[in-house]
A and B are shown apart, each in its own frame.
Chain A
């Protein structure tokens, strides 16, 4: 069944259903919940990067005022492997008491040598974070003959680029509020991107049926890929609640959020790439590494976007004493994009070719995205004023240099074809769609309601979009831009089935066949003529609501998008300060359900990429091994004054719409930092090889170019 050809609601600008409760402070986030008798949980986490726990004495904490339960998480003799690693947890009547009690816990650390930075971790004889050495080589990849490709190049560039680890900085920290409803039944209000997985994790840990676990996430304060389970602290909250016989709220403090709540791995790439005079990339050799702290996860795609027939690559994951990496908005792609796009830009310059023209010449010949890129680049170039771009370093004479840069990106996404939605039409005319998915700020709740309202001829506000409850039919986790394409088809199916069931019930009373009925503007129509109000029609159901389950259907959603971004910057070469003037994002994502929340996602992606390009950096102290900026003043994020003009262009042709629904969370955040880096290089005539584009990195690049 296809999407409606002439939709009334789909594709229009519809304010999100939960917008007003959020904007009035009335929305209850998991961290706002306060079940009767609730205690406050606080974590004790490691102040040192690497140590053996010689002794752990919880008794002093147990004796502190207001304390109801204390648990150890690491055992005596066990290890803490990074600043922020979990040690113990306390629940007390007030949060102040819980913090005092955590401080009263006596820990004797046997300090072990640490490695906190990639150079430390990779040095000869470095202390081992994992057995067998800190550098884990991945499988080398080779396509064609890279050396021969480079040998026939007319221009070759070789460069090393770095981008640091960044952290998710979810504004609502990780955590949950846990309440045991009986000895074997638990309710958890969790700040999660996956109510289902969180319920399964709790059920497994406490050995109870998953049906006796209810995870609720009505709203939540940001995840960006870092909140897919209950986590150590969530389990600790439930354990403390069990021990104390009272509900426990446990949310990380801001410091531990930075340290343990996840991060995007760093990337370092030494790349050699060549091209022939006609502007074709002829070969590429790349050696790359990155760190995900104590975990793997630093792999990223390279080559990226462009066709490089002859290439070879090695990659290593570097382990160090830092919190473990978690998926972060388009995992791997921002790193791969900014590395590839910097080298491509350099190579175009060396060939004396317009970097846009060079990019278009190197798109993959047999990829469906190629035509999309060509159309998008034309739109973006016009919007940014690419024709005003001067050759590299040819900006005005004074200290303020202006420049333009661009980047292409891509993402897969697509649907998980096994999710379900229930649609309920009640005799009072109210309509509910239910699924165990959740809205992490993307607008998922509103999208389900739009689909239902479209099919039932109702207003979006007439639909109760009931999600964020793990006991509902299985729904998609919010990640990888998969939620909308996974959930829209079963929603479409459920609502269609409910509508058809309603038609079947009421058709006889209207002396009509079910096939004669349709719905529009809150009315039931017979052969196109309005006969009955929606509510009157539903009243004919008597006591029995309609309750239909929808499953995935092919043809309503799709996978794979392209996008391009352009940046215009000015750089003060005396201070190194980069000022963004304008960013243009051109993006496709198939059929857009809600243009308003779609645009917000693209703006948000661009601003996330802007942060990555200009500000963000986890700073580790090599000497002490601790993170120096685990806060929100020295860990820099853009504020309102940092906003340039941002122009978002939906690439939404009839062909794009015909593809069906595709997710939009990841793609628009990928290319921004790359485009900014290229604009800076264009402005100042020197490649800034180290991200972010901070004054010190810009000035260092200028200084090393002079010397």
Chain B
């Protein structure tokens, strides 16, 4: 069994995770209906202590060390947007369904809306504001192919696309579709997005 297995008994159970005092950050999130439901389900009086204090945090974002105060429950997305004024990543679904908040943490694209900021200390965080903008860049390809309309999903698509192409420099159209399936656009710009991704792959090779 791996720790990816939801039925694993070897690691922390969900309840242990929620109740563990060392993981107070997670419990602090559950002060509303979810906590009530949990207490009802277990028949227990609430044992958890709600943390509302702020902690000082240093994050390495786009090559710069940035310090701010956040609550342990603050997400990476909200920390970037509200505390550090890095507003490229967008809050859309706020629960890891749409990809608009995508940031690259230690080289891996993550949904920053469901990543706690306190788990990102010591890691390298990249948002699309740091990407190149020359003729071989992903943003340039999106612009030229009109892979955006209102543009609110675009930061997530551009970031996911960059992370995908860094690992898959010669993708087929089907691979691009699968690679970008974690993102949703409401204006319906997928045709331009797919064209942009293929064009960027081609341009990056030529660079």
Contacts and interface: CB of A to CB of B under 8 A. Distances in A.
A607 B100 CA distance: 18
A219 B150 contact: yes
Nearest to A443: B149
A611 B187 CA distance: 11
Nearest to A643: B190
A24 B184 contact: no
Interface string A407-423: 00000000000000000
Interface stretch (B6-14, B40-48, B191-199): B191-199
B81 interface: yes
Contact of A28 (B73, B87, B193): B87
B146 A26 contact: no
By size class, the interface of chain B is 35 or more
Contacts of A172: 90, 92, 150, 152
B176 to A, nearest CB: 7
Interface string A94-118: 1111001001000000000000000
Contact of A633 (B95, B150, B191): B95
Instruction: Identify whether the interface residues of B are mostly helix, strand, loop, or mixed.
Output: loop
Nearest to B193: A640
A7 interface: no
A696 interface: no
A262 B98 CA distance: 20
B186 A15 contact: no
A641 B150 contact: no
Given A608-B188, A640-B181, A643-B190, A442 B129 contact: no
Contacts of B149: 441-443, 600-601, 604
Interface string A597-616: 10111011111101100000
B178 interface: yes
A222 B189 CA distance: 12
B54 to A, nearest CB: 8
A265 to B, nearest CB: 19
A32 interface: yes
B78 A600 contact: no
Contact of A222 (B147, B152, B155): B152
B181 A639 contact: yes
A19 B146 contact: yes
Contact of A221 (B90, B190, B192): B90
Contact of B128 (A24, A103, A606): A24
Given A96-B74, A171-B92, A22 B97 contact: no
A600 B82 contact: no
A103 B92 contact: no
Contacts of B152: 29, 171-172, 221-222
A646 interface: yes
A296 interface: no
Nearest to A249: B82
B131 A24 contact: yes
A40 interface: yes
A28 B74 CA distance: 22
A18 interface: yes
A221 B146 CA distance: 16
Interface string A221-246: 11010000000000000000000000
B151 interface: yes
B43 to A, nearest CB: 23
Contacts of B187: 222, 441, 600, 604
A28 B158 CA distance: 16
Interface in B120-152: 127-129, 131, 133, 138-140, 142-144, 146-152
Contacts of B183: 639-640
A32 B191 CA distance: 27
A213 B101 CA distance: 32
Contacts of A604: 149, 187-189
Interface in A605-659: 605-608, 610-611, 631-633, 637-641, 643, 646
B89 interface: yes
Contacts of A19: 142-143, 146, 148
A219 B93 contact: no
A171 B87 contact: no
A223 to B, nearest CB: 8
Contact of B184 (A23, A224, A632): A632
B85 interface: yes
Interface in B149-163: 149-155, 158
B52 interface: yes
B137 to A, nearest CB: 9
Given A34-B85, A96-B71, A171-B153, A637 B184 contact: yes
Given A20-B143, A172-B152, A640-B181, A25 B100 contact: no
B102 to A, nearest CB: 11
B88 A20 contact: no
A369 to B, nearest CB: 25
A312 B151 CA distance: 45
Contacts of B142: 19, 23
Contacts of B91: 31
A359 interface: no
Interface in A452-470: none
B71 A220 contact: no
B151 A18 contact: yes
A632 B98 contact: yes
A529 interface: no
Given A27-B151, A171-B184, 4 more contacts: A23-B139, A23-B158, A24-B131, A171-B90
8 contacts: A19-B143, A24-B128, A34-B85, A65-B52, A103-B32, A443-B149, A604-B149, A640-B181
Interface of B: 31-32, 52, 71, 73-74, 78, 81-82, 85, 87-95, 97-98, 100, 127-129, 131, 133, 138-140, 142-144, 146-155, 158, 176-178, 180-194
Which 7 A-B pairs have CB atoms at the shortest separation, nearest pair first?
A25-B88, A607-B188, A221-B152, A441-B150, A22-B151, A604-B188, A441-B149
Interface of A: 15-16, 18-20, 22-29, 31-32, 34, 40, 65, 94-97, 100, 103, 169-172, 219-222, 224, 253-254, 440-443, 596-597, 599-601, 603-608, 610-611, 631-633, 637-641, 643, 646
